[in-house]
Amino acid sequence: MDKARKILSSNFKDVPGYDCEPELGVIVATIEMQQEWDRQAKSEGPFAIFQGLNLKRFLIGSWPKLCRFHSPCRGRLIRCLH
């Protein structure tokens, strides 16, 4: 934490009235949130993508790719149109 404070202070030393404490608070909160997400992901396991809202996002994201793969043109749209 002291190292981050020192780096922020030295990088923004030319900015009048700059206070690095709010910035450090954001950084700490972001790291803590990411660690919590990592703990949740580890407890849910690798198949969490196929549950709940993640399943819906997975299907929406993969549907165009699946349709393109299984189409008769298979990505060769220009040749199929001619």
pLDDT tens digits for range 21-66: 999 999 999 999 999 988 887 777 777 777 778 788 888 988 888 7
Tokens 């009048």 locate to 16
The answer on pLDDT for 78 being more than 60 is: no
- The structure's pTM equals 0.50
Instruction: Return the pLDDT at 26.
Output: 94
Q: How far is CA 79 from CA 14, 53, 68, 75, in A?
A: 60, 38, 14, 9
Alpha helices of the chain — where are they, by DSSP H?
2-11, 20-44, 52-69, 77-81
Instruction: Return the pLDDT at 40.
Output: 81
Instruction: Return the pLDDT at 72.
Output: 64
Pair 8, 23: CB distance under 8 Å: yes
Instruction: Return the pLDDT at 71.
Output: 65
Exposed (0-12), middle (13-18) or buried (19+): which is 46, by Cβ within 10 Å? exposed
